[in-house]
Every structure is written in structure tokens, then in C-alpha cells.
Amino acid sequence: QSALTQPRSVSGSPGQSVTISCTGTSSDVGGYNYVSWYQQHPGKAPKLMIYDVSKRPSGVPDRFSGSKSGNTASLTISGLQAEDEADYYCCSYAGSYSDVVFGGGTKLTVL
């Protein structure tokens, strides 16, 4: 399995919206509705932000939303805040429990 493709970096000003894309294939992102997104601050453990493509765990602000079209999933963060500055990783189930693939990560900078 090849890694999912994410932009290396994105940026936005406070209050703006940004979207991070995650491109895979019909064998992973396009084939299953099990795409998840993780936020990771420097030196910290990843935190689940989105699961099942578009669902938010309890406690995650509704500024975070997920979607999918074909083989590309997207994470949109609206009303950017300084604390949103972090690395973001997408992840997709790919048909079996030995087939899970992460994206390479996207560094979000809040200007």
C-alpha cells in the first residue's frame, strides 16, 4: 500500500477556512467510508478529529469537518484559531486489518 497523498503544508489567517486534501485510490479512500483524520501538536500524541469520513468525536469543535469525493478525502477547518496550528494526518482502511494507510501529513500554519 502506498501512502495517501497530502499537501506538505497549508496556511491561513485567524478566522479563515482551510481545506486539507488526502488522495488515495479506489482500494482505500475511494473504496471505504473509513477515513479518519488526526491532529498532532509538536511532541504530543495524535488526536482523532474525524472518523467515518465526516463524523466528529465528542469534544471536537464543529469547526472541523470532513468529506469525501471519489478517491479524495478532505478536512476543512473553519474559523481558524491559533491553537489549530499543528500537523494533520489522514488515514484510510484498505480492505483488511493489515491494510491501513496513513497520509504523509500536512503542516497547518496559522498566520
Partner 1 sequence: EVQLVESGGGLVKPGGSLRLSCAASGFTFSSYSMNWVRQAPGKGLEWVSSISSSSSYIYYADSVKGRFTISRDNAKNSLYLQMNSLRAEDTAVYYCARDRDQLQFDYWGQGTLVTVSS
**Residues near partner 1 (CB under 8 A):** 3, 32, 34, 36, 38, 44-48, 51-52, 57, 89, 91, 93, 96-98, 100-105
Closer Cβ to partner 1, 12 or 103, answer by number: 103
Q: Give, in degrees to the nearest 5, the angle at Cα 52 between 49 and 55.
A: 55
Q: Minimum Å distance from CB 49 to partner 1? A: 11
Supply 53's cell numbers: 469520513
Q: Minimum Å distance from CB 14 to partner 1? A: 27
